[in-house]
Structure 1
Amino acid sequence: MRRRLINSTLAVVLVVIAVFGVSLVIVETRTISNSAQERVDSEAVRLVSIVDSRILGDELISAGVLKDQVTGDRYARIEIPGRPDIHIGDKPTGDVIKSTRKGEQRETVTVQEPRSAVTREVGRTLLIIAAVALLAVIAAVLLAVRQANRLASPLTDLAETAERLGSGDPRPRHKRYGVPELDRVADVLDGSAERIARMLTAERRLAADASHQLRTPLTALSMRLEEITLTDDPDIVKEEATIALGQVERLTDVVERLLTNSRDPRTGSAVTFDLDEVIKQQLAEWRPAYRNAGRAIVSSGKHHLQAVGTPGAVAQVLAALIENSLMHGGGTVALRTRVTGNQAVIEVTDEGPGVPADLGARIFERAISGRNSTGIGLAVARDLAEADGGRLEMLQAQPPVFGLFLSRTPLRRPQDGDGDGEEQTVR
């Protein structure tokens, strides 16, 4: 591209020089020739006037007297009737510029000048024109090189940016070149880089979330299958298989929820559901893990609370909080349900040391963890809660209390034996 720009600019300049240079040479040659002819004519007129005045004054007319009146290397011949011709200077040979004038006393004055003088002046003019043309060519080449670099270098940068995008480096360069068309291309590439970066971030986030969210259900499922292999009692096998099938369904829901949330976090399938069912399911799923750790998990508070949301998402949020208490907390983990305004609240607390003071509200940021964990669980849990129109907050740092706030429907009237409003503990 650089060579094409330089060659095209140079071609344009050469055409302009050729057109205007030839015209200028022709005009200057004619001007110099006409000027030389006018000088010879003026010399002849002046010499005729001098001769007329001397004839009238009966003064001496000779070559010695008139030689100072002929300038340069011109030649003059004066013809006076009845007198010999007077020759002043050397008569030129070859092509000459000639002017003849007649005086009032019938004398004739002829002035000649060799055309070589005109040729020399034309040559000097041609040299000046050629020098100017050469300077114009040099200036055009320098300008073309500068312009080519200005246009080609940004294109090289843009090509490198496109190559980096193709190789998986989506960092935008935010570099502009002062050329509207090139800046437009740079804007498009930077926008593409930002979109690709967001896509890659979403993919990595989905992979991390899936790894974190699927680890616990798969572990629980593995434990159920191990219990099936260790027993010969058909009733126990049937019971454990039923629980395992339920866990597979929840695992499928987790995968579907992660995929849906990765496409559009605002997309949800909110329904009215019973919080008791979700809490019981979580207690049943986590009870073996807590039993193995020598700890207990209990629930208390209001029952038969109806909430609006996605049961699978709420289950994932509770699972993240329960797992967080298992890994970082201590003592008994308690799930308490209560009502505040038009919201149902599920509080998860334990008897552990709580959240370090240096973390505070940053506990919900990704890659933030008080221990050697991924720091993803609480961040995913908050995203899931917000996608369902709820919110997840840390109500108290020590001992730790996390609250999941969900919109609710009016309370169902209790049936006989429901015990609405009574606390129930499950161990």
Structure 2
Amino acid sequence: MRARVVRVALVAATVALVLLAVPLAVAVRYAFFADERGELERDAMAAVVQVGPDFSAGDPVELPSAQPGEALALYDTAARLRSGSGPATGGGAVHRALAGSVAQSQSDGQLVVAVPVSSGERVIGAIRASTGSRTVWTRVLWGWAALLALCLLALGAAVVVARKQAAALAAPLEALARTSLAIADGDLTARAGHSTIAEIDEVARAHNAMVTHLARLLEHERHFTANASHQLRTPLTGLQLGLEAALADPEADPRAALAEAAERSRHLDHTIDEVLRLARAGIGRLPLVANQPAGELLEAADRRWHGVFAGEGRRLTTVWEPEAGRLPVPGRTVDQILDVLLDNAHHHGQGTVTLTLRDLGTALALDVADEGTMPLDSRTIFERGIGDGSGIGLALARQLAGAAEGRLALASTAPTRFTLLLPLHEEG
């Protein structure tokens, strides 16, 4: 780009200089020749003063000294040389001067000016002043050389200015190219900087907006992958363990094992739907899901997790008032939040885990508590990557709660207690 800008500037400057220099060169030539003719005419006029009226009677006339390189000559009415330096017979310029007018001519390398000499109202002769045109051409060539030097100087200045402007134009584009390469190498934090050129700044802003959007899409995709992996691992493990336990016990009731497997598979299907809904919705409110009585969700969570805690010698208890258990909540969304909180209590909590459902009038409070302690700050515990695990579950649970117009908070750290608040709406 730099070379192209310089070339364009040079072409434009060259065209402008040619359009300016050619008329100037013609004007220089005309001015120098006109100046020389004027000088010859002034010298001829000065010589006319020296010619008296007795010249026509044959008296000799002494002409003034000519300028260096000039020749002065006096001709009679027959165009014959009578005094000075010149051809024996006058040429066309002398004949026109004898006719009563100042005449100019250029031939045989000579500039000639002829001025009539009058006595009374009668022309009695003519003064011829001449000089070699080579002298004038020398001055013209020197003028043209000076004009060429000025043009070259202007062209050189144009090159310097063009190179600086090319650098100023290319620098932000080169920086934008480096930013694009950095993004291509995986640095999604790279952004194009500000320049002094409005059009390039507009491109940079569009580029930054595009990168920001792509970064959000990639982050959303990574979150979807992490959410799917985190949420599907537990139900798949439970389904696998239940089937393996049924196969290992020859006296086990296959219908009970199949019923449990069917329930777990339905929960797995709901989990997949919820993760996909979250991925399609992105950031913001999730599409509405069917409501279910809160008590049914707690009973289902108890069935899924009772055996998990019992296998480690721990208890899982549920407490709710009958009226609170009949209140409607977003079924699948709350189901996923409960799984996250119970999984967190299973891996990081201690002792008995208690699920408590409370009716607050305008909202429903669901507490998940255990007998352990939470060493992390309540303000950072919901950030992804926090803690000694994957740091995904609690962040996902808070996102699900927010999408359902609820709020999930760490209500207590010793003992650990998480509280989910869900607003109550009239069913339509």
Normalised by the size of structure 1, how large is the TM-score? 0.83
| Cα distance, 1:285 vs structure 2 | 1.4
Equivalent-residue separation in structure 1 for 2:71 and 2:87 (angstroms): 6
Q: Secondary structure at the match of 2:196?
A: coil
Change (3 A) 1:159 1:307: farther
- Asked if 1:20 corresponds to 2:20, the answer is yes
Output aligned runs, 1:11-160, within 5 Å.
11-52=11-52, 62=62, 66-67=64-65, 70-78=66-74, 85-87=82-84, 94-104=108-118, 106=124, 108-160=126-178
Counterpart of 1:420 in structure 2 is none
C-alpha contact (below 8 Å) 2:25/2:144 kept by paired residues: yes
Output aligned runs, 1:200-349, within 5 Å.
200-233=218-251, 235=253, 237-264=254-281, 265-304=284-323, 305-349=325-369
1:262 counterpart letter in structure 2: A
Can you give the 5+ residue segments of structure 2 that lack an aligned partner in the other structure? 89-106
Identity %: 27
Equivalent-residue separation in structure 1 for 2:155 and 2:411 (angstroms): 79
C-alpha contact (below 8 Å) 1:385/1:404 kept by paired residues: yes
Change (3 A) 1:54 1:381: farther
Q: Secondary structure at the match of 1:361?
A: coil
Normalised by the size of structure 2, how large is the TM-score? 0.83
Count of aligned pairs = 396
Equivalent-residue separation in structure 2 for 1:326 and 1:12 (angstroms): 78
Q: Secondary structure at the match of 1:243?
A: helix
| Cα distance, 1:44 vs structure 2 | 0.9
Q: Secondary structure at the match of 1:290?
A: helix
Equivalent-residue separation in structure 2 for 1:381 and 1:163 (angstroms): 37
> 1:379 is matched with which residue: 395, 400, 403?
395
Output aligned runs, 1:383-394, within 5 Å.
383-394=399-410
| Cα distance, 1:323 vs structure 2 | 1.6
Change (3 A) 1:97 1:400: same
Q: Tell me which moved more, 140-149 or 245-254.
A: 140-149
Give CA-to-partner distance per residue, 1:263-299, whole Å, 9 cap, x none: 2141233433222211111112112221222211111
C-alpha contact (below 8 Å) 1:78/1:108 kept by paired residues: yes
Change (3 A) 1:228 1:52: farther
| Cα distance, 1:42 vs structure 2 | 0.6
C-alpha contact (below 8 Å) 1:272/1:409 kept by paired residues: no
Give CA-to-partner distance per residue, 1:206-239, whole Å, 9 cap, x none: 111112112221221122012111112352x211
RMSD of aligned residue pairs (Cα, Å):
3.1
| Cα distance, 1:317 vs structure 2 | 0.9
| Cα distance, 1:383 vs structure 2 | 1.0
| Cα distance, 1:326 vs structure 2 | 1.8
Can you give the 5+ residue segments of structure 1 that lack an aligned partner in the other structure? 412-427
> RCO higher in 1 or 2 (8 Å CA, sep ≥ 6)?
1
Equivalent-residue separation in structure 1 for 2:156 and 2:39 (angstroms): 38
Equivalent-residue separation in structure 1 for 2:62 and 2:111 (angstroms): 24
| Cα distance, 1:191 vs structure 2 | 1.3
| Cα distance, 1:194 vs structure 2 | 0.8
Change (3 A) 1:410 1:121: closer
